[in-house]
Structures are given as C-alpha cells and as structure tokens.
C-alpha cells in the first residue's frame, strides 16, 4: 500500500508550506490545489465554483412529503454540489492508489481511512498566525489587522464545521491524528526535515 500523509491545518499555521517541504524531502507527490483542478475537469464546473463548494458545508437534500408520497425535486445547484463531493472522494482515492503522496486538507484523513494514512495536524499560536498572514499576504491584499484576525477565526471555524459534518469528529482533536505539530517555536523548514527523517531509512 502506498504511504499517504494527510495534513489538516489551521489557517496561517504554515501547514501548506510544511506539506510541500515534507513531500520534497520524501520525494513523493504533493496534492493541494491540484485536487480542485482535477474535480473541475471531471465535473466541467469552474475551479472557483468548485473551490467555493468544497469550502462550505454541504447542502443536504430532504425529500418533500405530500400525503403519503415522496417527491424529489430536481435542484441544479444541489446536483452540482453533490457531483463535486462525489468527485472529490473519487479524486482522493485515485491519488492514494497512484503513488505515495502528501494531501492537504479535504478531510482526506477520513475519506482515505481504508488506505491507512499517516494523519498530521498543523497548528500555531494565534499571534504567530497573524504575523505569518501579514508576512505572506498576496500583493494587493490590504486587510487591516482586525480584519485579518477575523478572517483567521472565520476560516478555521468553517474548517471545523466542515470536518465535523463530513467525519462526525472534532477537527484538530489530537485523538484523530498521528502527529500534531505546533509551528510557533521551530522553523517550518526544520520541522519538515525532522518529520521526513521519521519516514526515511538511513
């Protein structure tokens, strides 16, 4: 079975950089935005739309009862959204089957549980996350510190809700992971080098 390393991460903690460096050290595939591109190709929906769907809690369809009959109403938005979720699972499974890899987010720890992934959660002190977001802000993004703090809280709140919805478990709870690492005290470069060493024979 391939070695699959899944990475859940708090917004601004450097989980993505950590995952990328880890994959480089181990010389294995790295999947992050590639997942969205793949789903977009399969569903023929725009990447922006797919991104927006997988970042929000799925909408659930309840059949409507009239008298004793059930009516399922065709809803194109719901249909699209269901396709996106289905394709997300299919894509993750394909990636896991293909080769050793690092996968960022997407509840991959849960969706790929049959592939016995090594489940990592990356987190940081709040001040560290704020500083990192300021340092790494894309050109043209001019959020005030207050707005930035709100955004960090909001993104993490959504990730927690989404994880809870898909897996029924608490996002970031140590018991759901094999390794939880706080990136506030050591450089992400050193952390990735060390964690890679755990997997490398030499």
Q: Report if residue 160 touches its own copies, rule: CB under 8 A.
A: no
Instruction: Give the residue, chosen from 11, 31, 123, 163, that forms a contact with its own copies under the rule CB under 8 A.
Output: 123
Q: Determine, following the binding rule CB under 8 A, whether residue 118 of this chain makes contact with its own copies.
A: yes
Per-residue contact flags (x/-) with its own copies for residues 52 to 81, judged by CB under 8 A:
------------------------------
Q: Six-digit token pair at 109?
A: 């720890």
193 binds its own copies (CB under 8 A): yes
Min CB(172)–its own copies separation in Å: 6
Phi (first) and psi of residue 132, to 5 degrees: -65, -40
Rounded least distance, CB 91 to its own copies, Å: 25
Quote the least distance from Cβ 111 to its own copies, whole Å: 18
CA distance 31 to 20: 9
Task: Please identify, among the stretches 51-59, 60-68, 115-123, 132-140, the one whose residues bind its own copies according to the rule CB under 8 A.
Answer: 115-123
- Residue 3 neighbours by CB under 8 Å, 6+ apart: 26, 28, 100, 101, 118, 199
Quote the least distance from Cβ 28 to its own copies, whole Å.
Answer: 16
Q: Does 26 bind its own copies (CB under 8 A)?
A: no
Label residue 164 exposed, middle or buried (CB < 10 Å: 0-12, 13-18, 19+): middle
Instruction: Restricting to residues 168-187, name those near its own copies by CB under 8 A.
Output: 172-174, 177-182, 184-186
- Would you say 133 or 196 has its CB closer to its own copies? 196
Nearer to its own copies, 83 or 184 (CB): 184
The reply on whether position 24 binds its own copies by CB under 8 A is: no
Give the binding range for its own copies (CB under 8 A) out of 36-44, 101-109, 153-161, 190-198.
Answer: 190-198
Which residues partner with 30 through β-bridges? 102
DSSP 34: H
Helices (H), the chain: 15-26, 33-43, 47-54, 76-98, 108-111, 126-135, 145-167, 188-199
Query: Which of 78, 112, 107 lies closest to 96 in space, CA to CA?
Result: 112
Dihedrals phi, psi of 39, to nearest 5 degrees: -65, -40
Instruction: List the one residue out of 53, 52, 8 whose CA is nearest residue 173.
Output: 8
In the three-class reduction of DSSP (H, G, I as helix; E, B as strand; rest coil), residue 146 is classed as: helix
Residues that bind its own copies (CB under 8 A): 118, 121, 123, 172-174, 177-182, 184-186, 190-191, 193-199
């Amino acid at each position: 079975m391939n070695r699959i390393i899944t990475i859940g991460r708090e917004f601004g903690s450097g989980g993505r950089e950590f995952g990328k460096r880890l994959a480089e050290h181990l010389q294995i595939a790295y999947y992050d935005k590639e997942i969205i591109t793949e789903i977009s190709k399969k569903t023929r929906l725009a990447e922006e739309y797919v991104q927006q769907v997988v970042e929000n809690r799925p909408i659930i369809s309840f059949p409507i009862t009239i008298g004793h009959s059930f009516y399922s109403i065709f809803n194109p938005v719901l249909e699209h959204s269901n396709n996106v979720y289905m394709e997300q699972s299919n894509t993750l499974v394909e990636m896991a089957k293909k080769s050793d890899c690092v996968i960022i987010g997407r509840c991959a720890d849960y969706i790929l549980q049959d592939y016995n992934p090594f489940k990592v959660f990356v987190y940081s002190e709040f001040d560290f996350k704020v500083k990192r977001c300021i340092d790494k802000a894309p050109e043209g993004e001019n959020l005030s510190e207050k707005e930035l703090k709100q955004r960090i809280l909001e993104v993490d709140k959504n990730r927690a809700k989404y994880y809870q919805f898909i897996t029924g478990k608490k996002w970031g709870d140590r018991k759901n992971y094999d390794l939880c690492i706080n990136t506030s005290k050591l450089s992400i470069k050193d952390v990735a080098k060390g964690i890679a060493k755990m997997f490398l024979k030499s």
